[in-house]
Amino acid sequence: MSSSWRHPGRTGAIVYAVAATIIGTLTAGLSRLQVERQRGRRAAAQRLPPGAIIVISNHTSYADGVLLALACRRLGRSLRLLATAGLFRMPLLGRIVRKLGFIAVRRDTAEASQSLEPAAEALRAGEAVGLYPEGRLTRDPAMWPERAKTGAVRLALMTNAPIVPVAMVGAHRVVSRSRVLLSVVTSLVRRPRVGVLVGDPIDVRRLMGLDQFTEPTQADVRRAADAVMATLVALVGELRGEEAPDPLGVPRIEA
């Protein structure tokens, strides 16, 4: 599997548009995706500016990637998601996700960090790259975000792209971690609401108080990852109307 990223081009744009239409229609039968209030849609779109951006979100459901991509599409950006490498090995689906400009991640391996370079290539091409800073579905029983890994911050430092936090609440009711088929069937009847809230872009170097010539330490990167995650956790709390149990993300639970 190639580690480089190729621009999807015009064909990829057509595939993305067709896929967004088909999947959006199917998803509408399972959920009610609400991207902020209608009056706030223009303001939310402005927080996903043109050019290179890194979109991060909390991870509660197998449906998250589809829903996040659809939400960003409504706001005018075609998201290039970091997705598990297994999708790229599937005969038909693998070809489609490549055409969409998605980026393979070999999760839970020593090679996982290698996905940052193709993601950086996409950002240098002015794309919107989406990833989950937790690196996995949250294990928290109450569905609060876990503490972030440092990949999003390291990617921002590599490219100077801003990070845009996007909170989603309700996706776990569309497709749950367990009893996947039952949750999908239930969603056909209930059509659970999935709320989306977009935060302001974060300039990581400004957040860290560093100029472009200063190399951050590992401790700097860790602190920045926590600060960025705190912004995302606060957005999740705002959507839920609750105070998060840990402002930096709950401690990671090993299952």
Q: What is the pLDDT along the chain (255 residues), one digit of tens a residue?
A: 445 788 888 999 999 999 999 999 999 998 999 987 645 667 777 889 999 999 999 999 999 999 999 999 999 999 999 988 888 888 888 888 889 999 998 765 555 567 799 999 999 999 999 999 999 999 999 999 999 999 999 999 999 999 999 999 999 999 988 888 888 888 888 899 999 999 999 999 999 999 888 999 999 999 999 999 999 999 999 999 999 999 999 998 876
In a domain, 1, yes or no: no
* pLDDT on residue 2: 46
Could you give the CA distance from residue 144 to residue 39 in angstroms, rounded to a whole number? Answer: 28
Specify the number of domains making up the chain: 1
In a domain, 41, yes or no: yes
Q: Which residues of 139-156 are buried (b: 16+ CB within 10 A; e: fewer)?
A: ebeebbbbbbbbbbbbbb
Determine the distance from the C-alpha atom of residue 21 to the mean position of all C-alpha atoms in its chain, rounded to a whole number. Answer: 20
In a domain, 127, yes or no: yes
Nearest alpha-carbon partner for 151 in 87, 97, 72, 225: 225
Q: What is the value of pTM for the model shown?
A: 0.91
Give the SS3 label for residue 11.
Answer: helix
In a domain, 47, yes or no: yes
In a domain, 32, yes or no: yes
* pLDDT on residue 1: 43
Give the domain CATH number at 42: 3.40.1130.10
In a domain, 2, yes or no: no
In a domain, 20, yes or no: yes
Alpha-carbon separation of residue 74 from 62, 176, 177 (angstroms):
20, 24, 26
Q: Which residue segment(s) compose the domain that 60 sits in?
A: 9-240
In a domain, 26, yes or no: yes
